[in-house]
Chain A
Amino acid sequence: MKRGPARGPLSTVVGIVLLALMLFPVYWMVNASLQPAGSVLPSGWFPRHPDFGGYATALRDQRRNLVTSLVVALGSVALSLGLAVPAAYALARLRLRGTTVVLFGLLVTQTVPGIVVANALYGAYTDLGLLNSYGGLILADSTTGVPFAILVLRAFMRSIPGEIIDAARVDGAGRLRVLWSVVLPLSRNALITAGLFTFLFAWGDFLFALTLNTTESVRPVTVGIYEYLGAHTNQWNAVMATAVLASVPAAALLVAAQRHLAAGITGGALK
């Protein structure tokens, strides 16, 4: 048994209440999305005369942007974890000289405001021809994900008992082998957590998407939402509907991924 003792349905009730409190603003957004166009101030606790106009508009305009968001976010997860896993392993277990310096550098990167990075990247991307490309946006969106994933994975990997790794080394496994078949399976939780947030960082990015695209070829939902926020008019019901609609497939993806990986954990936990 890996987790604490199982508890009954009372916990489920408490959990639902806690979640309802946390997600109330999300409910309020749904409420606002069901208001007819023009009157955006929710007039009651429930949308008495729900108007699905906002959803119709959002579905019509945002489907492509939604796919773009998913592609970019998943690409960023792949890139971030690909770079971060070996780096975190090295920093956690390989006793490199200068680990502290590297860690400090990683933290420095996280203090830099996004706009500073975006301004600089625009110039570089223009010359390198990376504007308006999925690759360019994935690279830029991973600027939060990579350092974040390294720091988080390292923190988790440090708690792996040294004996396990030493045992594998004694058996003659190379470092790459140890990472792949010993450390990674033991770091599933860390991978889920780091992957989850690199996904969310890229998913929520607005600044890079806006800055590094000068055409409409690569346009994630965060930018697409601005279709309804004009200089002179705001269609808040469509904005809210887009946000709600866009979060559904992403949420499904997160739940599915977590469930899948969690199954793996319990399988691998019988050590």
Chain B
Amino acid sequence: MRSGSPPVPDGTARVRAVSRTRLWARVSRWLFLLPALVYLSLFFGYPVVKNVVMSFQEYSVATFYTGAAPFVGLRNYTTVLSTDVFWQALLTTVLFTVGSIAGQFVLGLALALFFQRRFPLGGLLRSLLLLPWLLPLVVSGTTWRWMLDTDSGVVNEALRHLHLLSSGIPWLTGTSEALVSVILVNIWVGVPFNTALLYGGLQDIPARYYEAAKLDGAGRLAAFRHVTWPLLRPVAGVVLVLGVVYTVKVLDIILVVTGGGPAGATQTLATRSYELSFQQFEFGRGAAMGNVLVLVSLAFALVHLRADRRARNT
């Protein structure tokens, strides 16, 4: 993490002669930020620190009542990292995240571009796209589980009706298919998010830029490349980084749809961490696993911030 003071691009921020009004000007800027910062440090500071501390302790069920949790240094981390399950879970997490994000973003962008043009009922249809987000995950996850059942699921039934296959695809019971299935379900959950944000971003691109591009004789593809994409970048960047951060920690969907099975094929760092903490009551190790997950997310976040800063400086 590179903290401290990032290069401030223009000199107006540095005030040499600090008169009272100028001091006020400087302080007042921070006042805009202050309420949010106070809220966030209250609601995240303590939990985060506690979780980090917990990961260096032997934290068992008894600790909850007695408070006694001896420090064990890095032992939780070494134990967690040295199992072969960990590396499998890490790989699954990466595949799950990359697959989900790629699918969500591409589909989301395509839908956002589609809805960008006005047509009858467009606004209503766009609003209805958000409907899946109004349904609790335990409900939509269960529905998907029924739909993807090998024998009686409606997905296989439809494929059979269309003569696309003769025997059912083991969506949830094949070790490689199950990962594809949870990725598909997660894409389904994520598309409305991507569409709505990207659509909002597209709306903010002034029409005159498109008109100018048209006058220059640019086709639709060129307009996308030279107008849409560069101007959508800040929003697209946030969509991607938040998408990654949210996807890495996805828990409910996997637990409801496959429970991490079959044979651990859909176990990610998040489900492992949950399993360690709340099934095996190894809270210290669960916290260690959870922090590894946080680090994985932060790696993505840093990449995003670098790109963001570069964009700001140009």
Contacts and interface: CB of A to CB of B under 8 A. Distances in A.
A25 B312 CA distance: 42
B36 A111 contact: no
B138 A225 contact: yes
Given A204-B137, A251-B130, 18 more contacts: A3-B203, A6-B117, A7-B117, A29-B143, A100-B305, A110-B297, A112-B294, A113-B270, A116-B287, A143-B43, A152-B235, A156-B204, A175-B28, A175-B32, A190-B204, A222-B136, A254-B127, A255-B128
A11 B119 contact: yes
A251 B128 contact: yes
B131 A95 contact: no
B134 interface: yes
Interface stretch (B4-12, B70-78, B94-102, B170-178): B4-12
Contacts of A155: 201, 234-235, 237-238
B135 A102 contact: no
A219 to B, nearest CB: 14
Given A117-B47, A196-B130, A29 B119 contact: no
Interface string A157-189: 011000000000000000100010000000001
Interface string A1-40: 1111111110110111011001101101100100000000
Chain A interface size, under 10 / 10 to 19 / 20 to 34 / 35 or more: 35 or more
Interface stretch (B82-90, B243-251, B259-267): B243-251
Contacts of A41: 146, 152
Interface string B122-146: 1111111111111111111011101
Contact of A258 (B123, B204, B207, B249): B123
A257 to B, nearest CB: 9
A220 to B, nearest CB: 10
Contact of A12 (B13, B39, B120, B137): B120
B309 interface: yes
Interface in B277-314: 277, 287, 290, 293-294, 297-298, 301-302, 304-305, 308-309, 312
Q: Is chain B's binding surface mostly helix, strand, loop or mixed?
A: helix
A200 B222 CA distance: 36
A213 B149 CA distance: 36
8 A-B pairs with least C-beta separation: A90-B32, A120-B47, A87-B36, A11-B119, A111-B297, A193-B200, A247-B134, A107-B301
A29 B123 contact: no
A243 B270 CA distance: 26
B219 interface: no
Contacts of B199: 193
A25 B204 contact: no
Nearest to B296: A111
B77 to A, nearest CB: 17
B37 A29 contact: no
Interface of B: 1-6, 8-10, 12-13, 28-33, 35-37, 39-40, 43-44, 46-48, 50-51, 111, 114-140, 142-144, 146-147, 152, 154, 188, 191-193, 196-197, 199-201, 203-205, 207, 210, 231, 234-235, 237-238, 241-242, 245-246, 248-249, 251, 270, 273-274, 277, 287, 290, 293-294, 297-298, 301-302, 304-305, 308-309, 312
Nearest to A221: B136
A106 interface: yes
